[in-house]
Structure 1
Amino acid sequence: MDAIDYKILDLLSENSRTSAAMIGQQVCLSTSAVNERIHKLLNNVILRYTVQMNPKAFGLNIHMLVGIAMEHSRYHKVFFQKVSALPYVSHCLYLTGEFDFLIEIFATSSENLQKYHGQLSIMEGVSSIQTFYVLDEYNAPPNMYLSQP
């Protein structure tokens, strides 16, 4: 990747609907040259184009992180598969440290959260659960990877 590719990525990270013609004007390339570069980036740099939604718009006002410790590593793969399929789990991270997994959950009510907690606690291999209520969050800008050394 060269400086032009980085500029294209920066522009797309701000608005993935930016036209190739508009990008071309900003990087001094033709529309077809920009399209060709984007096509090459789609093979291994750009993973997908997406929409970021506000969970609160859907009544999901409770945001929790749940640390899960497992009894033994033999349970990890099955647990990861089961948890990843749950509709209320937005992220499931496999970790080192005190917890084996960190799960992000959004819920509409404390009753739902309690139900989800109960479902997680009875899954095979779970030895302990610790829940963290998210008070506030920082979201990195979409182009943060472009500034990494």
Structure 2
Amino acid sequence: MRAVLQRVTDAQVRVDGELVGETGPGLLILVCAMQGDEQANADALATRIAKQRIFRDEDGRMNRSVVDIGGSALVISQFTLAADTSRGNRPGFSSAAPPNEGQALYEHFAKTLGEIVPVQTGRFGADMAVSLTNDGPVTIWIEA
């Protein structure tokens, strides 16, 4: 699985103008299930993300995790993280998991992370409008 983490002061996701998920200080996580991924990948990714020390400590150093700061997460499905841009000008997405598998892994990832920190989600497969205030800015790409 692939994810992009953004350290945020706040983030929201809307579908058809309706707020469906939000977070305060914590993480906006864009996540993509790849071909061949299993629940073990989702579990490993959730654990790794929860432990990432990307929040400031009292000395201003990135030394705290989302757990350490009592933060939360907004998890958004993002199949375009599977983009293959190696040929031509139109990305290919064939390395993404099929939609039914992708949705199951996305939901499993959100549930697993939700056992560690409070989690809200977007709506899988929907056309979503995501807004955020990136803190830092800190943006990190991670795989498991």
Scaled to the shorter chain, the TM-score interval is: under 0.3
| Structure-2-length-normalised TM-score | 0.25
More helix by share: 1
Larger Rg computed on CA atoms: 1
More strand by share: 2
| Structure-1-length-normalised TM-score | 0.24
RCO higher in 1 or 2 (8 Å CA, sep ≥ 6)?
2
